[in-house]
């Protein structure tokens, strides 16, 4: 299987959905070691 534009676009949309769904979890992980913005930051950038 080779990658093409459609595969990559679909992959990015799926990543955006997952980051949005798991935003609170990612923020919780980041809270322990950083500034607690990973979940919101990734979700907003992938929309």
Instruction: Compute the average pLDDT of residues 22-43.
Output: 79
Q: The dihedral of CA 12, 42, 28, 33: what is its sign? A: positive
The pLDDT of residue 47 is 67
CA distances for 22 relative to 3, 5, 28, 34, 44, angstroms: 26, 26, 10, 17, 12
CA distances for 29 relative to 4, 10, 23, angstroms: 33, 26, 10
Instruction: Compute the average pLDDT of residues 19-46.
Output: 79
Question: Could you give the number of structural domains in the chain?
Answer: 1
The domain in which residue 37 lies consists of 5-45
* Cβ pair 15, 21 in contact under 8 A: no
Q: pLDDT over 90 for what percent of the chain?
A: 23
pTM of the model: 0.64
């Amino acid at each position: 299987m080779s990658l093409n534009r459609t595969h990559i676009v679909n992959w990015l949309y799926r990543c955006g959905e997952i980051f949005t769904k798991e935003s609170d979890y990612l923020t919780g992980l980041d809270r322990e070691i950083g500034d607690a913005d990973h979940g919101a930051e990734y979700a907003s950038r992938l929309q």
